Amino acid sequence: MAQDYLQNVKTALQKTWPQNKTVNLVFHGHSVPSGYFRTPDVQTLSAYPQLVLKALKAKYPNAVINVIVTAIGGENAVQGAARFRKTVLNHQPDVLFIDYALNDRRVGLEKAKAAWEKMIRQALKKKIKVVLLTPSPDISGAWDQPDNELAQHAAQIRALAEKYHTGLVDSYAIFSAQKDVKPLMAQSNHPNEKGHQLIADGILQWFF
């Protein structure tokens, strides 16, 4: 259950000084968690990592929370896995969010799966809680059709979450459920703040 997976983290967030500790939330991925809206414009405070922080601080006012964004615009999971140990694990995440599928179309399902599994295994070995994200839309193509690349990557990520018993935020399903996604997009492949809020809401279900 979503409510149980992060129970230890939620308990830590509820503690007050001097029993509390800093909780590190690390967001690894591409341009979406990086905060790119209409490229090259970066709206850091309107991107889902900061929207999550704002909501968590409202719920847990005594918590010390670090939101650390290791995402790089334009990057795919193969590249993200190559630098994972040095630039992600070094931050000692309490919770790690991985969001790469939008760009993994460039490397294909097989290479993407290997890269995601490498990151997941390394994180779980360190006792880090992992939450996987399926892709947000790219409305330049038929993104919501069952056989398109984004749908295939989304299905693969769901399977990985089940295999490794990680958390899952199904951004693809969340956007697919909307009547019209255009008002949620800053450009064809980047959500605007309303779109980011949908992703943030999906993440927050694991904390509330």
Residue with token string 């939008």? 102
- pTM for this entry: 0.96
Residue 91 has pLDDT above 70, yes or no: yes
List, as one string, the DSSP characters of 130-188. Answer: EEEEPPPP-TTS-TTSTTSHHHHHHHHHHHHHHHHT-EEE-HHHHHHTSS--GGGEEET
Q: What is the dihedral of CA 206, 93, 184, 157, to 10 degrees?
A: -70
Alpha carbon distance 127, 111 (integer Å): 25
Residue range 76-100: average pLDDT?
99
Specify the pLDDT at position 145.
86
Tokens linked to 124: 């779980």
Tens of pLDDT along 126-178?
999 999 999 999 999 888 888 899 999 999 999 999 999 999 999 999 999 99
List domains and CATH numbers for the chain. Answer: 2-204 (3.40.50.1110)
pLDDT-derived band at 1 (thresholds 50, 70, 90) equals low
Specify the pLDDT at position 146.
83
Specify the pLDDT at position 141.
84
Tens of pLDDT along 97-116?
999 999 999 999 999 999 99
Residue 93 has pLDDT above 80, yes or no: yes
Tens of pLDDT along 20-29?
999 999 999 9
Mean pLDDT value across the chain: 97
Residue 76 has pLDDT above 90, yes or no: yes
Specify the pLDDT at position 144.
82
